[in-house]
Structure 1
Amino acid sequence: MTKWQNILKNLSVFVFVIVGLFTSMSALAQQSYVVDPNWLKEQIKTKQPIVIFDSRSKEEYDQGHIPNAISFPVDDTYVVQDRAYYVKNKVNIAPLLREKGVTKDAKVIVYDQGELMFASRLLWVLELYGIKDLAILNGGLDGWKEKNDVSQVAHSLPASDYVPVLNPSIYASTTVAKVAVHNPKYNLYDSRTYDEYLGKKSMTSKYGRIPKAKYIDLSEFFTIDENGNKFLKIQAELDEVLAHLDKSKKNITYCNKGTASTLSYYLLKQAGFNVAHYDGSWIDWSEKGLPIEK
């Protein structure tokens, strides 16, 4: 083998290693936003420094939860004004985050029963206020219970001195939603039921949708196992579902009160989209008498 053949061979190996490294890093980046029950079980078993938040109601938490999980009902993050639901501001969310022991360096896993809507809402709130290392438990509690036991022992952390730092890039106000209607650089996505999207039903006195909004069918992102439990599809299948959407634009998600649309937010964010959630969503839009279409 000549000197140049050796150089080319070594270069090929180097490129292969680098490509493999970046592929692994990309896979880890995707995996870090969603974890499965087996991974979480191992973290608990080996006493890894993670925080597990149960986003269901306190009553449901008391009936049985994942060991070491802390009750953090997603309803505690809302404030209701003029019938619309909004995330609490920094002043009002800070005591709640400190009470739950939130710290800026925590690895946080969030779960709900399995629909992932409550979990994604809590994830969005935590991300909005500066927590960066976040993931949702795929399958939720229902998926966990297939092979693992639950606990009725309440768990908590010492209160922290966490200071929330707003991440405005993932927050869309009414003004931003209005801009999105007219600006071709934005997409709007409706995560309500299809009948609500078509204007056949509504939670408010207004029927229809925000102008130019497209419909997202959340059921397309899930698969059902043999026990009837819902799990997110693998990333390649999720990418296929989202293939028709434009990644070059800023994407705004909304639903009725801001729960289902945070799941849309989560799914788009995981797939690499530039996305924000419209706080207040359809109730905010329709209560303010803004334009609609059918």
Structure 2
Amino acid sequence: MFTTLISCAQLQALQQAGVALLIVDCSADLMNPAAARQQFLDAHLPGAVHADLDHDLSAHGAADAASGGRHPLPRREVFAQWLRQIGLHTDTQVVVYDRNGLNFCGRLWWMLKWAGHEAVAVLDGGLSAWTAAGGAVESGPAVPRTPSHWTLQPPLRTLVTADEVLAHLDQPDQTLIDARATPRYRGEVEPLDPVAGHIPGALNRPFSLNLDEQGRFKSAATLRAEFDALLAGRDPASVVHQCGSGVSAVPNLLAMEVAGFPPTRLFAGSWSEWCRDPSRPVTKG
């Protein structure tokens, strides 16, 4: 079972061994959502299905939402319906990837853990690493999969609400890590949300810092040292990850697990939910 990362060679070995696999392309384009669907049609891993960030991995209305923000999580029951449609079984090894610097596939990795499915891993290096390793690709629509009867299991990861974040501001039991680019964290620019700045007390670690020059996750030892330096003595168990809309926070959460830390928490509504309530405090700089 692969539960954090899987290499191209490891995935190829599973394919050759005939292991029950579900490969999901999570590529996305925030500025042009339709582009990701076309990219999938142009090239994807053999047998892969496409997960659309807005349609499949986000709620479509308040009644179906489990969080706030620009990309609200769907309720677990709604998400489970989609998982059954794409043929998830309890013994399935899921592999998720994208062509966006591993920014978007972590969303589905986390959501599957939240739904209680442990056997899900991110393809380290994404599509570019796969093709560089000689992996085959195919084009056209996904091959239809037979729906399953998979059922939700107890959550394996924890979701934190905006009210909980507010209640624990400046408390030692909560350490916020903001995964947005530093200019957005500082409030110097804000291309997506109505207010610039960050949640008071949040530390900044842009999610791209988790990758090496080849676009793969840094070694566990390197990630451990970097997060130890960022936390500066704070309890790792206190960490709550956030970003703009709860998507790019996940690479930091995943990186901490790769580094050997226990699972940490996610504020999925993130800055886009936080800043829409003028009564919540905001910090710049």
Give the TM bin, normalised by the shorter chain: 0.7 to 0.9
| Contact 2:241 2:265 (8 Å CA) reproduced | yes
For residue 78 of structure 1, what is the aligned residue in structure 2? 58
- Which residue of 194, 212, 231 maps to 1:223? 212
| Contact 1:109 1:136 (8 Å CA) reproduced | yes
Q: In the TM superposition, what is the alpha-carbon distance from 1:47 to its structure 2 partner? A: 1.8
- Going from structure 1 to structure 2, the CA distance change for 1:83 and 1:249 (only over 3 Å counts) comes to closer
Q: In the TM superposition, what is the alpha-carbon distance from 1:264 to its structure 2 partner? A: 1.4
Q: In the TM superposition, what is the alpha-carbon distance from 1:127 to its structure 2 partner? A: 1.0
CA RMSD of aligned residues (A): 2.1
Q: Under a length normalisation based on structure 1, what TM-score does the superposition of the two structures give?
A: 0.82
Which is higher, the Rg of structure 1 or of structure 2? 1
Q: In the TM superposition, what is the alpha-carbon distance from 1:169 to its structure 2 partner? A: 4.4
Cα distance in 2 between the residues matched to 1:145 and 1:128: 30
| Equivalences, count | 261
For residue 275 of structure 2, what is the aligned residue in structure 1? 286
- Going from structure 1 to structure 2, the CA distance change for 1:166 and 1:87 (only over 3 Å counts) comes to farther
Q: Which one-letter code corresponds to 1:84 in the other structure?
A: R
| Contact 2:69 2:271 (8 Å CA) reproduced | no
Asked whether 1:148 is paired with 2:138, we answer no
- Going from structure 1 to structure 2, the CA distance change for 1:51 and 1:169 (only over 3 Å counts) comes to closer
Q: Which one-letter code corresponds to 1:192 in the other structure?
A: R
- Going from structure 1 to structure 2, the CA distance change for 1:284 and 1:48 (only over 3 Å counts) comes to same
Cα distance in 1 between the residues matched to 2:94 and 2:164: 29
- Which residue of 180, 183, 187 maps to 1:195? 183
| Contact 1:72 1:100 (8 Å CA) reproduced | no
For residue 123 of structure 1, what is the aligned residue in structure 2? 109
For residue 74 of structure 2, what is the aligned residue in structure 1? 88
For residue 177 of structure 1, what is the aligned residue in structure 2? 165
| Contact 1:66 1:150 (8 Å CA) reproduced | yes
For residue 43 of structure 2, what is the aligned residue in structure 1? 64
For residue 23 of structure 1, what is the aligned residue in structure 2? none
For residue 26 of structure 1, what is the aligned residue in structure 2? none
Cα distance in 2 between the residues matched to 1:253 and 1:263: 10
Structure (1/2) with the larger strand percentage: 1
Provide structure 2 residue ranges, at least 5 long, that are not aligned to the other structure: 28-35, 63-67
Asked whether 1:43 is paired with 2:5, we answer no
Q: Under a length normalisation based on structure 2, what TM-score does the superposition of the two structures give?
A: 0.84
| Contact 1:256 1:281 (8 Å CA) reproduced | yes
Asked whether 1:33 is paired with 2:4, we answer yes
For residue 227 of structure 2, what is the aligned residue in structure 1? 242
Name the SS of the counterpart of 1:115 in structure 2: coil
Deviates more, 1:101-110 or 1:139-148: 101-110
Q: In the TM superposition, what is the alpha-carbon distance from 1:160 to its structure 2 partner? A: 1.1
For residue 197 of structure 2, what is the aligned residue in structure 1? 208
| Contact 2:98 2:126 (8 Å CA) reproduced | yes
For residue 256 of structure 1, what is the aligned residue in structure 2? 244
> Which of structure 1's runs of 4+ aligned residues deviate more than 4 A?
80-83
- Going from structure 1 to structure 2, the CA distance change for 1:131 and 1:87 (only over 3 Å counts) comes to same
Deviates more, 1:206-215 or 1:105-114: 105-114
For residue 265 of structure 1, what is the aligned residue in structure 2? 253
- Going from structure 1 to structure 2, the CA distance change for 1:257 and 1:211 (only over 3 Å counts) comes to same
For residue 155 of structure 2, what is the aligned residue in structure 1? 167
Name the SS of the counterpart of 1:51 in structure 2: strand
Q: 1:175-233 CA distances to partner (integer Å, 9 max, x unpaired)?
A: 222133132111001111101111111232322110110001323221123xxxx1111
- Going from structure 1 to structure 2, the CA distance change for 1:35 and 1:178 (only over 3 Å counts) comes to same
Q: 1:11-43 CA distances to partner (integer Å, 9 max, x unpaired)?
A: xxxxxxxxxxxxxxxxxx9x7411111111121
| Contact 1:104 1:132 (8 Å CA) reproduced | no
Counting aligned pairs with the same residue, the percent is: 22
| Contact 1:247 1:274 (8 Å CA) reproduced | no
| Contact 2:51 2:57 (8 Å CA) reproduced | no
Q: Which one-letter code corresponds to 2:15 in the other structure?
A: I
Name the SS of the counterpart of 1:121 in structure 2: helix
Provide structure 1 residue ranges, at least 5 long, that are not aligned to the other structure: 1-28
| Contact 1:180 1:188 (8 Å CA) reproduced | no
Cα distance in 1 between the residues matched to 2:50 and 2:195: 36
- Going from structure 1 to structure 2, the CA distance change for 1:131 and 1:239 (only over 3 Å counts) comes to same
